[in-house]
Structure 1
Amino acid sequence: MTSTQRPLKIALIAGEHSGDILGADLIRALKLAQPNAEFYGIGGDRMRAEGFKTVFDMEELAVMGIVEVLGRLPRLLKVRRDILAHFTAHKPDLFIGIDAPDFNLPVELKLKQAGIKTVHYVSPSVWAWRQKRIFKIAAATNMVLALLPFEKAFYDVHQVPCTFVGHTLADQMPLQPDKTAAKVALGFSAEAPLLALMPGSRTNEIKLLAPEFLQAAAQLQQQNPGLQLVCNMVTPVKAELFTQIWRQVAPDLKLTLLIGQARQTLTAADAVLIASGTATLEAMLAKTPMVVAYKTNWLTYQIASRLVKVDFFSLPNLLAKKALVPEFLQDEVTVSALVNAMQPLLAQSGTETQAAFTDIHQHIRCDASAQAAKAVLELLHD
């Protein structure tokens, strides 16, 4: 690909931490082919570090759950109106919405109607619930970039343009991680087992899952006094929230709290209690046996549970198409359930599960950012 005479203008919107990572990697890959390209819209620190110009703080969009979104709706709608006005005034050659489908798809639809090519990077969970959204996606986008192979299969059935690019995490993480070195690097004993707690990155997730995670960890530590415990939080603010809950529900628990070291934590851990989401994929790629849990607002769950069409909700199980890891949803998330599921993981090596993790890792390791950049530029020059 050769550079165009004037700088290529690419607008992007990333709605949260994981989108910021994907956006930064994609921008880096696009700049290899288009060194003078300009990137602007809504993104986080990683995207800004690649020269991205952000119009709004990404945290404005970092909200999840039907009921939770309602409370922020007026602000979200204003941000969407304002960013569309900005794109009208500074017209991009192409727009890429990274995840955040409820925010990005309406933006994509407006821009596509205005003659701007649009890409949605990270498929919404349309294969799992609200499947009729596939028609909205088809109307709003020229191309969907899917991270996982079962997603492209769904789009192919409905004849909606989709490219499977693989997952950037699979590219970044080694097939055979050195868990002993990772433990030592974080200051833990290489000999004693290490259990990680990862109750999510969103405030609501932490509030709903941290109490059970902490109480389960306390019971496991009582059963095994040598058990080392670590928790990673994405920001100091989230760490403070977690600490408040820790003091309330398990003040005697011996635990090391880290900030911004999720991958190191997951690589070092012998097992992890983890919230459902992208972090479960990272845990799988770190070859760390896990127990997955998820809880949301009661009303959000009541609505969503009537629309979900899949047998599993955790990514390792969806990718394996079987119950590879224990998963607990909503009322199933109890201290006793978590303890009972975790005990065998701490007592055995988990080599069979880890072998399955490695097989999946190889399948989704495709140099995703380069593949995504290639698909974007091909669409642009179509």
Structure 2
Amino acid sequence: MTIKRVYLVAGELSGDILGAGLIRELQLRHPEVEFRGIGGPRMLRLGMNSRFPLETLSVMGLVEVLKHLPELLKVRKTLLIDALAWQPDIMVGIDAPDFNLGLERKLRDSGVTTAHYVSPSVWAWRQGRVRKIALAVDGMLTLLPFEADFYRQHQVPVSFVGHPLADEMPLENDRQGAREALGLTVDQPVLALLPGSRANEIRFMGATFLMALEKVCHSYPALQVVIPAATPQRSQEITALLADFPALQGRIVVIQEQAREAMVASDAVLLTSGTAALEAMLCHRPMLVAYKMAPATHWLAKRLVKTRWISLPNLIAQESIVPELIQEAATPDAIASELVQLLGDNTARRALETRFAAMHADLQRNASRRAADAIEALIAGQPLCEVSADG
């Protein structure tokens, strides 16, 4: 079997990472394969033809999506026409379920094989969505084993592929080497601060994080802080914010990307929720998750979301191993208090690093290979291979 054309639609930077891994694996098997849709910088470097910039779909929050709905619907209609004209072997939506599942449904109804890579959180809220998912996709590719169990219970074809980041990141890392590479003092404490990859996350959390840092620095005068900016635009926004915090001048280093290097170099990580929390876990670094959103979005989320946790390390462990400060709880004082405690307890930090290393090993499944296996099976009309968490 030869695959010639794959239509991919990624919704944000985390989807770009997954999409790039899938592209690389399919290119190894099918050297002439072409890719089209929406992708980010990693996917573009591998030759993908992106019809819109990645940030087109990077809208955060329920209320914010409503503001951009007319534009998003226009983009989806354009992609539908484009995909049908191009006639791909398969269309794979990567995350962004509110956007992609509608596109997948229309393409599947038109005879195109469809898959969705990264399960929406149907196990946490709006479980009735699984019926719409069953109509939209020929197969679901999940990153975590408990997600695959949910789909099997609802008779949706599924393949647990593991997480590509767990495959990509080493089970051992070099804190001292990372500090030297970033120009940090090796024997002084380091905090990695990841305020988010979206403009709204900087707007909601940036100043709060910096106010907390001012307080932490009273307890740790030698603390070094590294802020990896996800994009040049985020870097400009962070730099503008820092101008209002002269007391932090000289101790904060803003770097372009290199989030992973910053986390490996750190003793602890302060971040918003999302894939960054998983990356911190895969770097085996203790973390504090603090998150705010628009008040109306939070009001809706409180009434819809049933899960106890928002961070992936806690969801994977199914217990509270990472502190979470959400909305009103995410104050500068509360964040500073948690960080001072985390930085000061060497025994607890080492225990968390050991726990995270074990969780990392459990998620290493060669995910991009398994995702490519699933794509080939779907195109060939074969059932998805059921892979156990131990397999």
User: Counterpart amino acid of 2:378?
Assistant: L
Map 1:353-368 to 2 at 5 A. Answer: 353-368=352-367
Q: Which residue of 2 aligns with 1:278?
A: 275
Aligned to 1:335: 332
Q: Find the partner of 1:324 among 292, 298, 321.
A: 321
Whole-angstrom CA distance in 2 between matches of 1:375 and 1:88:
22
Could you tell me which residue of structure 2 aligns to residue 27 of structure 1? 23
The answer to whether structure 1 residue 381 and structure 2 residue 380 are counterparts is yes
CA apart distance, 1:251: 2.3
Name the SS for the 1:163 alignment partner.
strand
The structure 2 residue matched to 1:205, chosen from 194, 198, 201, is 201
Q: Which runs of 5+ in 2 are unaligned?
A: 382-391
Equivalent-residue separation in structure 2 for 1:315 and 1:96 (angstroms): 23
Q: Which residue of 1 aligns with 2:246?
A: 251
Are 1:97 and 2:93 counterparts?
A: yes
Task: Give the aligned partner of residue 155 of structure 1.
Answer: 151
Work out whether residues 149 and 364 of structure 1, in 8 Å CA contact, stay in contact via their aligned partners in 2. Answer: no
User: Which of 29, 41, 48 is the matching residue for 2:44?
Assistant: 48
- Match runs of 1:137-176 below 5 Å: 137-176=133-172
C-alpha distance after superposition, 1:232-271 (max 9, x if no partner): 11111111111222222x2220211111111111111110
Question: Partners in 1 of 2:150 and 2:241 — Cα distance?
Answer: 41
- Give 4+ residue runs of structure 1 displaced > 4 Å after superposition: none
Aligned-partner residue type, residue 208 of structure 2: E
Write the letter of the residue equivalent to 1:276. S
| Cα-to-partner distance string for 1:328-372 (whole Å, 9 max, x where unaligned) | 111110111111111122113311111111111011100110110
* Whole-angstrom CA distance in 2 between matches of 1:273 and 1:44: 25
Task: Map 1:209-228; keep pairs closer than 5 Å.
Answer: 209-228=205-224
Rounded Cα–Cα distance in structure 1 between residues aligned with 2:14 and 2:120? 14
CA contact (8 A) 1:276 1:292 kept: yes
Q: Would you say the 8 A contact 1:201–1:238 is kept in 2?
A: yes
User: 1:172: how far off?
Assistant: 0.9
Equivalent residues of 2:219, 2:340 under 8 A apart: no
- Structure 2: how far apart are the matches of 1:118 and 1:125? 19
Correspondent of 2:126 among 115, 126, 130: 130
1:115 aligns with 2:111: yes
- What secondary structure is seen at the aligned counterpart in 2 of 1:252? helix
SS of alignment partner, residue 306 of structure 1 = helix
Q: Are 2:79 and 1:83 equivalent residues in the alignment? A: yes
Percent identical: 47
Which residue is equivalent to 1:190? 186
User: 5+ unaligned residues in a row in structure 1: which ranges?
Assistant: none
Q: What is the distance in 1 between the residues matched to 2:143 and 2:258? A: 23
Matched, 1:229 2:228: no
CA RMSD of aligned residues (A): 1.1
d(CA) in 1 for partners of 2:144, 2:242 = 35
Q: Deviations over 1:36-87 (max 9, x none)?
A: 1111111122111111111112211111111111111111111111111111
Aligned AA for 1:47? Answer: M
The CA deviation at 1:139 is 0.9
Deviation at 1:8, TM superposition (A): 1.5
| CA distance in structure 2 between the aligned counterparts of 1:329 and 1:255, rounded to whole angstroms | 25
Q: Determine which of 61, 65, 68 is the counterpart of 2:61.
A: 65
Measured in 1, the distance between the counterparts of 2:52 and 2:206 equals 30
Taking structure 2 as the reference length, what is the TM-score of the superposition? 0.94
Structure 1 equivalent of residue 343 of structure 2:
346
1:260 corresponds to 2:252? no
* 2:388 equivalent in structure 1: none
Could you tell which deviates more after superposition, 340-349 or 327-336? 340-349
For 2:237 and 2:128, the matched residues in 1 are separated by: 38
Q: Distance in 1 between matches of 2:318 and 2:196?
A: 24
Q: Distance in 2 between matches of 1:157 and 1:344?
A: 42
- What does residue 389 of structure 2 align with? none
How far does the alpha carbon of each residue in 1:113-169 deviate from its partner, in whole angstroms, 9 at most, with x for none? 111110000111111112211111111001111011121121122121111101111
Correspondences of 1:4-23 after superposition (within 5 Å)? 8-23=4-19
Query: Letter of the aligned partner of 2:354 in structure 1?
Result: A
Aligned partners of 1:139, 1:232: CA distance in 2, in Å? Answer: 40
Amino acid at match of 2:33: A
| In structure 2, distance between residues paired with 1:149 and 1:262 | 26
Choose from 286, 301, 308 the match for 2:298. 301
